[in-house]
Structures are given as structure tokens and as C-alpha cells.
Amino acid sequence: MKTILLKFAGPLQSWGTHSHFETRHTDFYPSKSAVIGLLAAALGYGRDEDEKIRRLNTLDFAVRIDQQGRIIKDFQTAKKYDIKSEFKKVTQAYVTTRYYIEDAVFLVALSSADEQLVTEIERALRRPYFQLFMGRRSVPVLADFLVDIVDVGAIEALKKESWQAARWFMKKEKASSVRLTIIADKKLLDKKALAMPRRDVVSSFSQKNRRFAYRYEVQIAVDLTNPMAINAREEHDIWEQLGE
């Protein structure tokens, strides 16, 4: 079993699973379908290559919330032009409402027993065919988003990997350890735990007929060491209040 660890961090992210028309929502943490879309872009798959994309559904998926951000709302104006007219007149203008997650950090684990598939994905992530985004084209991934490739399952990888939050966020937590939430495919955790459905299984990304099925998620908590706790007690940092 091999697991790919990806970090999604930055000023803004957006992970919608139920957006329609002029209102574009976001969930509170990354969706499996969005991450599969990112992998498909890295591999150079077209939107209509359903069989290739559905193969990625076989990957085990889990996400750890390292730094919970907050939801913000943005208004954007879209315009439709008459390209046939001499002066390209605006024929329609409307406002779209778009939601984003601000200042969040997530650690995503994708695992599979198919080592050839994992190797293929790793190679594509290092040299992606298309630009990679965190849910929307306005928010590209950061340079350090590929964290590691490890020889354990998704849950064990998330339990072992160090806390990925920003330093300023870690300093706010005075305790020597922090409790983080892991949300994963139901089959990866206790089957007796409460499972919640999410419309998050890719059937097709085709613009003519996008289709998604449901999967079930389960949550657990994990305790990790806070590397900034000792420094916070022993040092007086005059810049701490200003952040990074």
C-alpha cells in the first residue's frame, strides 16, 4: 500500500459539491471529486475520458483538517457580449455569488495497493500536463503541495504526518498537543461509526452531462504534537502579534 500526501493551503480555496448557476458554494474541506479532477488534470485526461477518470475513484481518500479557515463571500460580475456586432455590445450582465475558504490548511491522503497507479500519479503531479487548482481557476496550488509518498495506508499516514498549519496558527495553540479531525471513506474506519453521505463520486466530468454518485464518510480525531508550544512558553516574540 502506498499513499500520496497533498497539502492544500493558501489565502483562498473552494471545494463545492452542490453549486448551481450563479451561486457557487464551497464545502468546509476538500472533496474527493475535486481532488480526482486535479489528478486528471495532472495526468492530461480530457473531460470526456470517463473510463480513465473513473479509475481514479478506486483510490482511498482521507483528509485531515490542520487549519480550519472561515467561509467568505465574493461577488463577481459576468458579462455576455455580442461578438457579431461591430462594437461587441454587452447583451447580458449579471452578478455571481462565490464562496471561498480563507486561510485554511488541509492534508489529503490518497492510497492504493496498485503501486503502478500511484507511481503514475506521482510523476504527473511533479510534471502536470495542465495547471492545478484548488477548486477554482483563480486559486492555483502552492509549490509545496506534494508533501510525500509513504508506504502505509491513508489513515496511518495522516496519523503520523506532522502538523502542517502555519506557524502563526500553531503559536495560538498554547497546549503541547492539538486534536485534529480526519474525514475518510467509510471503509477505512470503524464501520459502526456514524457515516454521512456526500455526492462526491465522479461518473463523468463531461460538460454536456456531468454526473456524480454518493459516497459515505466517517470522522475520527487524532492528537499531534504542537512544535511551537515550547517556543511559545520560553521565548518572548515581539513580532508574534503581527503574524507572518
Can you give the pLDDT at residue 244? 57
Task: Give the C-alpha separation, 240 to 168, whole Å.
Answer: 7
Can you give the pLDDT at residue 41? 95
Can you give the pLDDT at residue 71? 93
DSSP class of 127:
S
Whole-prediction pTM value? 0.85
Can you give the pLDDT at residue 233? 47
178 CB burial (10 A radius; 0-12, 13-18, 19+): middle
Per-residue pLDDT tens for 62-84?
999 999 999 999 887 877 777 67
Grid cell, residue 218, equals 466517517
How many domains are contained in the chain? 1
Can you give the pLDDT at residue 129? 95
Amino acid making up residue 168 = W
Residue 157's CB is within 10 A of a number of other CB atoms, namely 25
Residue 72 near residue 97, CB atoms below 8 Å: no
Can you give the pLDDT at residue 232? 46
Domain range holding 63? 2-242
* Low pLDDT (below 70) residues in the chain: 19-21, 83, 85-87, 191, 230-244
Residue 226 near residue 170, CB atoms below 8 Å: yes
Can you give the pLDDT at residue 236? 55
Can you give the pLDDT at residue 20? 66
Can you give the pLDDT at residue 163? 96
Residue with cell 512544535: 227
Q: Compute the half-sphere exposure of residue 27: CA atoms within 13 Å on the CB side of its CA.
A: 19
Residues in the chain, overall count: 244
- Residue 37: which CATH number? 3.30.70.2660
